[in-house]
């Protein structure tokens, strides 16, 4: 890679300023939600609106824990449990599957790959009613298990398609060297290939988590009791009940974004690679 052509100093500063302005415009909705959550209800209704909280109000957050009016930390924990469960299933199943597809040329391989590709395009509407019946019959309806089982179906196909490329890029020699050292196909997979494909596994885990964290349809349809529902369904419910209590609503939104923000800050490089490898959001 050659050195990229440098811009003149003046242009560099000008472009950087434009970039920051664009950033402020595009991320304004997030800023607005954050400061609304820190305003008093009175200030929210002030005209003209205030662009930062004149009186800092953290009550919207505290009230959620104290009064138990609506416990958002409970729904947060539910969401976390559901997302972790779905991620675990997706990764455990997708890692071997993608290895099998990448490294072995068996007969049904192409058809399998295609079927994973197609499941990524499915609308939730097609699955909701049949899953609803199935979960009732399995006696997992209205438990977190139903949401975990459903959310994993978003992560699996995505993960298989992403990881397939990682495994395919590992040279065959490496595997053959492992066989010479006395590994069989399974131990070579576990000891040699999985560690090399680790960045890919991270991408899959992160996206499976994000898909499950953002899910509303499954959590809302398969879990009935508010205290078992994920945080997204909690927000929706809360909107219906306290339609105009914007300080509470935005506090709820901010708490929901926290894990997403943490993932973004600490694992940004995986996000770009996941998005560009043909990601369809579920």
Asked if residue 245 binds another protein (CB under 8 A), the reply is: no
Based on CB atoms, which residue is closest to another protein, 38 or 253? 253
| Positive/negative CA dihedral, 183, 189, 190, 192 | positive
Burial call 188-201: b when 16+ CB within 10 Å, e when fewer? bbeebbbeebeebb
Q: How far apart are CA 132 and CA 141, in angstroms?
A: 7
In the window 111-150, what residues touch another protein (CB under 8 A)?
112-119, 121-134, 136-137, 149-150
Based on CB atoms, which residue is closest to another protein, 126 or 180? 126
- To another protein, the closest distance from the beta carbon of 102 in angstroms equals 9
Q: Which of 257, 246, 262, 258 is nearest to 57 (CA)?
A: 246
Residues in the chain: 282
DSSP letter for 3, please: P
Asked if residue 172 binds another protein (CB under 8 A), the reply is: no
Q: Yes or no: say if 102 and 142 are a contact pair by the CB < 8 Å rule.
A: no
Based on CB atoms, which residue is closest to another protein, 33 or 63? 33
What lies within 8 Å, CB to CB, of 152 at 6+ separation is: 85, 86, 89, 90, 93, 208, 212
Based on CB atoms, which residue is closest to another protein, 63 or 122? 122
- The region of 58-66, 67-75, 90-98, 196-204 touching another protein under the rule CB under 8 A is 90-98
- The region of 4-12, 60-68, 69-77, 197-205 touching another protein under the rule CB under 8 A is 4-12
Supply 13's token pair. 């500063």
- The region of 69-77, 174-182, 194-202, 265-273 touching another protein under the rule CB under 8 A is 265-273
Based on CB atoms, which residue is closest to another protein, 202 or 271? 271
What lies within 8 Å, CB to CB, of 103 at 6+ separation is: 167, 168, 175
- List 54, 109, 191, 198, residue binding another protein (CB under 8 A): 109
In the window 5-64, what residues touch another protein (CB under 8 A)?
5-7, 11-12, 15-16, 18-20, 22-23, 26-27, 29-30, 32-33, 36, 44-45, 47-49
């Amino acid at each position: 890679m050659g050195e990229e052509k440098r811009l003149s100093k003046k242009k560099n500063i000008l472009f950087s300023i434009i970039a920051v302005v664009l950033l402020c415009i595009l991320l304004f909705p997030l800023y607005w939600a954050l400061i609304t959550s820190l305003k008093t209800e009175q200030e929210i209704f002030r005209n003209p609106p205030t662009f930062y909280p004149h009186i800092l109000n953290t009550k919207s957050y505290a009230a959620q824990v104290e009064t138990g009016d609506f416990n958002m930390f409970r729904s947060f924990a539910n969401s976390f449990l559901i997302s972790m469960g779905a991620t675990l299933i997706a990764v455990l199943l997708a890692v071997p599957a993608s290895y099998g597809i990448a490294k072995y040329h068996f007969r049904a391989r192409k058809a399998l790959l295609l079927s994973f590709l197609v499941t990524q395009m499915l609308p939730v509407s097609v699955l909701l009613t049949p899953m609803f019946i199935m979960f009732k019959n399995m006696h997992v309806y209205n438990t977190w298990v139903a949401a975990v089982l459903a959310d994993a179906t978003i992560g699996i196909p995505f993960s298989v398609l992403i990881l397939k490329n990682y495994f395919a890029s590992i040279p065959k020699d490496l595997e053959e060297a492992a066989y010479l050292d006395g590994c069989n196909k399974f131990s070579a997979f576990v000891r040699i290939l999985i560690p090399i494909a680790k960045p890919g596994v991270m991408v899959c885990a992160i996206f499976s988590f994000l898909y499950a964290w953002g899910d509303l349809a499954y959590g809302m349809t398969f879990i009935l009791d508010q205290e078992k529902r994920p945080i997204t369904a909690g927000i929706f419910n809360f909107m219906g009940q306290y339609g105009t209590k914007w300080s509470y609503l935005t506090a709820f939104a901010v708490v929901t974004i926290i894990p997403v923000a943490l993932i973004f800050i600490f694992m940004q490089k995986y996000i770009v690679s996941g998005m560009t490898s043909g990601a369809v959001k579920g």
